[in-house]
Amino acid sequence: MKKTVEDVELKGRKVLLRADLNVPMSDGEITNDNRIVQALPTIKYVLDQGGRVILFSHLGKVKTEEDKKDKTLQPVAERLGELLGKDVPFVPHTRGESLEQAVDKLADGELLMFENTRFEDLDGKKESGNDAELGKYWASLGDIFVNDAFGTAHRSHASNVGIGSNIETVSGYLMQKEIDFIGGAIDSPERPFVAILGGAKVSDKIGVIKNVLDKADKVIIGGGMAYTFLKAQGKEIGNSLLEADKVELAKSLLEEAGDKIVLPIDIVVAEEFDANAKHRTVSVDEIPADMEGLDIGEETVVHFKEVLQGARTVVWNGPMGVFEMENFAKGTIGVCRAIAELTGAKTIIGGGDSAAAAMDLGYADDFSHISTGGGASLEYLEGKELPGLSVIDDK
């Protein structure tokens, strides 16, 4: 069990709070403030407890001086202030006297935000390379570290592991939620446990497939990766996405798992990879040699829905087709709806495209948990140890 923000005294203490405020921006404007909203419970709790909050995050990748213009956290500080109903002073530096003085002036229940941690990458990747001196410096600014940035938990950076190696470290509410939901689903799921995996490539999710095959009662496979499995069964897949070097692996997984792996039974095929391409639905045994599969068919949605009935734990990662194109989004919509309508089940989306799909389709509130970290949730589902989690103190 990891220590949480509720396990420690915060009043009067300088609280370093690493959030994931890596919001999408366009022309200096925030286009989606969901990550700021998700960070609010931890920020509010620390402020209410009388902590002095030093808030920080990364924002995109910073490779040139020019990048700094578009990657400043100032608009995030302004939006956070609107959501909190109070001014959020912004320090446009990542270190130095002005930052130190601003920290020293904080009173109980006050906060400030400092500049994008990735600005430190312009001088030899000090942030993303977990520079020991930088981690130690940032740790020196506070009395305690609250890590609430699950989205970077799979990375060993100065702003998570570097700080946590030098100071008492606890998890924030968002981080703890990820530990409870994703960690709980993998380590001690309520059964039956069904995993649904989609997306383009088997190679992206080999570790996840192997790990969930050990843990789940059924593993549903859709999306582009399904065609490599269908090929492994000896089926014609036409011009569908294929990882030829993974066919033998898929074959061995099918042999090992037996009927635990559930594959599509019909496919929406098109003449080309185009939103307006002519398309039709065919059985997986009748995929034309000159066409490609871009979505699962209606019968497959019904079949997957039947497999889900009675499930007590469901983890979904990856779309069922090219859901960005309306003609090939029905499979993803159907699966999303089927999970959302389950009663009595713990339903979890492991970040990435499936999280975006659920939000876009208006089903976000119908899931028990939607992960805030794409890469981090994938590695967590693989059973890997995440550096940003490991550095949090145990109870």
Are 153 and 388 contacting, i.e. CB atoms less than 8 angstroms apart?
yes
Q: How many CB atoms lie within 10 A of CB 368?
A: 15
Q: How many CB atoms lie within 10 A of CB 64?
A: 8
SS3 127: coil
Told to judge if 260 belongs to the known catalytic residues of this protein, a careful annotator would answer no
- β-strand pairing of 266-270 with 279-283: antiparallel
- Please tell me if the domain spanning 5-171 has the same topology as the one spanning 178-381: yes
pLDDT of residue 22: 95
Told to judge if 201 belongs to the known catalytic residues of this protein, a careful annotator would answer yes
DSSP string of 140-204, one letter each residue: HT-SEEEE--GGGTTS--IIIIIHHTTS-EEE-HHHHHHIIIIIHHHHSPPSSEEEEE-SS-TTT
Active-site position among 35, 155, 246, 330:
35
pLDDT surpassing 80 at residue 147 = yes
Instruction: Output DSSP code: residue 230.
Output: H
Active-site position among 201, 235, 260, 337:
201
351: region left, alpha or beta (phi > 0 left; psi from -120 to 50 alpha): left
- From the number of C-beta atoms within 10 Å of its C-beta (0-12, 13-18, 19+), residue 286 rates as exposed
Write out the two tokens for 317.
Answer: 């990662």
Told to judge if 52 belongs to the known catalytic residues of this protein, a careful annotator would answer no
pLDDT surpassing 90 at residue 138 = yes
Q: Which CATH architecture has domain 5-171?
A: 3-Layer(aba) Sandwich (3.40)
pLDDT digits (tens, 9 = 90+) for 69-114: 889 999 999 999 999 999 999 999 999 999 999 999 999 999 999 9
How far is residue 329's CA from residue 294's CA, in Å, rounded to a whole number? Answer: 9
Summary mean pLDDT of the chain: 95
Closest by alpha carbon to 168, among 16, 1, 387?
16
Q: Note the pTM of the prediction, 2 decimals.
A: 0.89
| φ, ψ for residue 245, nearest 5 deg | -80, 0
Question: What's the CATH superfamily of 178-381?
Answer: Phosphoglycerate kinase, N-terminal domain (3.40.50.1260)
Instruction: Output DSSP code: residue 217.
Output: S
Told to judge if 375 belongs to the known catalytic residues of this protein, a careful annotator would answer yes
Q: What angle do CA 307, 312, 314 make, to 5 degrees?
A: 65
Instruction: Output DSSP code: residue 369.
Output: E
pLDDT of residue 375: 83
> Which sequence spans correspond to the domains of the chain?
5-171, 178-381
Active-site position among 224, 297, 351, 352:
352
Q: Bridge-partner residues for 220, per DSSP?
A: 196, 262
